[in-house]
Amino acid sequence: MTPDLPVPPVAENTRRRIDLTKIGDGRFKATNARGGVLPIGSGGDPDFTPVELLLAAMAGCSAIDVDLITGKRADATSFAVVSEGDKVRDEQGNHLVNLRLTFEVRFADDEAGDAARDVLPRSIAQSRDRLCTVGRTVQLGAPIEYVEA
């Protein structure tokens, strides 16, 4: 169990929100403030499940961080991230364990590519330890208030 950590003061414009509405049996759609729509399913259709979305969010968050840092030196010739974990059920209920992000990033064989390769390990560590909001939230834990409107 993560110890209770102090919550820093919240500045303006920090709120993030999505609205979720039912669109069918075991299917929902998430809509963001910019009008983006993402279907979510229970696993009986091609839509991403909530667990897959969590894995995708962790990978996407860190990939954006790493690409921004390394991209200042060189554009990647290929960039892929595998996000995985094991879903278990134990005395703490359903949850994921053995979470892992594996970065497969390649750069050209030139001076700029060498510079990007040199910062790749540090950029992954920075994302893990400080930058990626999704990964940091998973690592630190945060209480979730469930309310009925």
What is the reported pLDDT for 12? Answer: 74
What b/e sequence results for 87-116 when a residue is b if at least 16 CB atoms lie within 10 Å of its CB, and e otherwise? eeeeeeeeeeeeeebebebebeeeeebeeb
As a whole number of angstroms, the distance between CA 50 and CA 28 comes to 10
What CATH number does the domain located at 50-140 have? 3.30.300.20
What is the reported pLDDT for 93? Answer: 97
Tens-level pLDDT at each residue, the chain (149 residues): 455 666 667 777 899 999 999 999 999 999 999 999 999 999 999 999 999 999 999 999 999 999 999 999 999 999 999 999 999 999 999 999 999 999 999 999 999 999 999 999 999 999 999 999 999 999 999 999 999 99
Q: Could you say which DSSP state residue 48 is in?
A: B
Domain boundaries, the chain: 15-48, 50-140
Q: Residue 25: which residues within 8 A CB-CB, separation 6 or more?
A: none
What b/e sequence results for 131-142 when a residue is b if at least 16 CB atoms lie within 10 Å of its CB, and e otherwise? bbebbeebeeee
Two structure tokens written together for 6: 């102090």
What is the reported pLDDT for 4? Answer: 66
